[in-house]
Amino acid sequence: MNDDDRTAMKKRVQRLVYMAAGGRISEADLGRYDTDLRQIGLDSLGYLNLLEGLERTFGVAIDLDHEEDHSFLHTIDNIVRYLVAQGGEAV
Protein backbone atom coordinates (compact mmCIF):
# COMPACT_ATOMS: atom_id res chain seq x y z
CA MET A 1 0.00 0.00 0.00
CA ASN A 2 1.49 3.34 -0.99
CA ASP A 3 1.08 6.71 0.73
CA ASP A 4 -1.73 7.80 -1.58
CA ASP A 5 -3.73 4.67 -0.79
CA ARG A 6 -3.17 5.18 2.91
CA THR A 7 -4.27 8.82 2.73
CA ALA A 8 -7.38 7.81 0.79
CA MET A 9 -8.13 5.23 3.48
CA LYS A 10 -7.75 7.86 6.22
CA LYS A 11 -10.20 10.10 4.42
CA ARG A 12 -12.72 7.27 4.18
CA VAL A 13 -12.33 6.47 7.88
CA GLN A 14 -12.65 10.19 8.70
CA ARG A 15 -15.93 10.24 6.77
CA LEU A 16 -17.13 7.10 8.61
CA VAL A 17 -16.36 8.73 11.97
CA TYR A 18 -18.30 11.84 10.93
CA MET A 19 -21.29 9.71 9.89
CA ALA A 20 -21.04 7.50 12.99
CA ALA A 21 -21.19 10.54 15.24
CA GLY A 22 -24.27 11.79 13.38
CA GLY A 23 -22.60 15.14 12.74
CA ARG A 24 -22.02 15.75 16.45
CA ILE A 25 -18.28 16.04 15.85
CA SER A 26 -17.36 18.95 13.64
CA GLU A 27 -15.24 18.41 10.54
CA ALA A 28 -12.71 20.83 12.07
CA ASP A 29 -12.35 18.55 15.11
CA LEU A 30 -11.73 15.63 12.75
CA GLY A 31 -9.03 17.51 10.83
CA ARG A 32 -6.14 15.72 12.56
CA TYR A 33 -5.70 11.98 12.16
CA ASP A 34 -3.95 11.60 15.53
CA THR A 35 -6.74 13.16 17.64
CA ASP A 36 -8.18 10.85 20.28
CA LEU A 37 -11.74 10.34 19.06
CA ARG A 38 -12.99 9.84 22.62
CA GLN A 39 -11.69 13.28 23.55
CA ILE A 40 -13.68 14.99 20.80
CA GLY A 41 -16.91 13.29 21.80
CA LEU A 42 -17.25 9.92 20.05
CA ASP A 43 -19.45 8.11 22.57
CA SER A 44 -20.35 4.44 22.88
CA LEU A 45 -23.25 4.74 20.42
CA GLY A 46 -20.94 6.54 17.98
CA TYR A 47 -18.38 3.74 18.32
CA LEU A 48 -21.08 1.16 17.68
CA ASN A 49 -21.96 2.93 14.43
CA LEU A 50 -18.28 3.35 13.52
CA LEU A 51 -17.53 -0.36 14.03
CA GLU A 52 -20.52 -1.27 11.83
CA GLY A 53 -19.27 1.17 9.20
CA LEU A 54 -15.70 -0.15 9.29
CA GLU A 55 -16.84 -3.77 9.00
CA ARG A 56 -19.11 -3.06 6.06
CA THR A 57 -16.80 -0.66 4.24
CA PHE A 58 -13.56 -2.60 4.59
CA GLY A 59 -14.86 -6.15 4.85
CA VAL A 60 -13.12 -6.84 8.16
CA ALA A 61 -14.46 -8.53 11.29
CA ILE A 62 -13.59 -6.53 14.39
CA ASP A 63 -13.87 -8.67 17.49
CA LEU A 64 -13.33 -6.47 20.53
CA ASP A 65 -13.37 -9.53 22.73
CA HIS A 66 -10.23 -10.92 21.20
CA GLU A 67 -8.36 -7.62 21.31
CA GLU A 68 -6.96 -6.95 24.77
CA ASP A 69 -6.04 -3.37 23.97
CA HIS A 70 -8.65 -1.17 22.31
CA SER A 71 -6.28 1.69 21.55
CA PHE A 72 -6.39 0.65 17.88
CA LEU A 73 -9.75 2.43 17.78
CA HIS A 74 -8.70 5.63 19.50
CA THR A 75 -7.44 7.64 16.50
CA ILE A 76 -7.97 7.59 12.74
CA ASP A 77 -4.24 6.81 12.33
CA ASN A 78 -4.56 3.78 14.60
CA ILE A 79 -7.73 2.57 12.89
CA VAL A 80 -6.04 2.70 9.48
CA ARG A 81 -2.98 0.85 10.81
CA TYR A 82 -5.31 -1.83 12.18
CA LEU A 83 -7.27 -2.08 8.94
CA VAL A 84 -4.08 -2.45 6.90
CA ALA A 85 -2.83 -5.17 9.27
CA GLN A 86 -6.18 -6.96 8.91
CA GLY A 87 -5.88 -6.81 5.13
CA GLY A 88 -8.92 -4.58 4.91
CA GLU A 89 -9.81 -3.11 1.55
CA ALA A 90 -12.71 -0.93 0.67
CA VAL A 91 -15.52 -3.12 -0.64
Partner 1 sequence: MNGDPTRGPIQDALTDCLGRHRGRRAVVGSEALSYDELGGRIHAAAGWLRGVWLEGGAGGRAPRHVGFCLGNRPEYVILYFAVLYAGDLPLLLDANFNTGEIESIRSDCGLDALVIEPAKAARLEAPGKGDQVPFADDVVLLPLSRPGAPPFEPRPATQVCRFTSGTTGRPKCLEFSGHAVVSAARNWVLGTGMTGEDRTLCLAALSNGLAFNTSLLSSFLAGGELHFLKGAPLTRPVARRIAESGITRLVAFPTLYRNFVAPGGPDRSAMAGLKHAISAGAPLWPDVREEFRARYGLDISDYYGIAETGPCTFEREADHHSGLGRPLPGAEIRIAPGPEDPDGPEETGEVLVRTASMASGYLNHPGLFEQRLDADGFYHSGDRGRLVDGRLHLVGRTQDHINVAGRKIDPTEIVAVVSALDGVADAVAFPDEDLNREALVHLVVVAASPELTRAAVAAACRSRLASYKVPGRISFVAEIPRTGIGKPRIAVLREQLNASAGA
- The binding site for partner 1 (CB under 8 A) comprises 19, 21-24, 41, 43-45, 47-49, 51-52, 55-56, 61-65
CB of 36 to partner 1, least distance (A): 12
How many Å apart are CA 3 and CA 39, to the nearest integer?
27
Closer CB to partner 1, 45 or 85, in the complex: 45
Cα 85 to Cα 1, 21, 25, 81: the distances in Å are 11, 25, 27, 6
Nearest CB to partner 1, comparing residues 5 and 43: 43
Task: Find out whether 33 and 65 touch, Cβ atoms under 8 Å.
Answer: no
Closest distance of CB 69 from partner 1, Å: 12
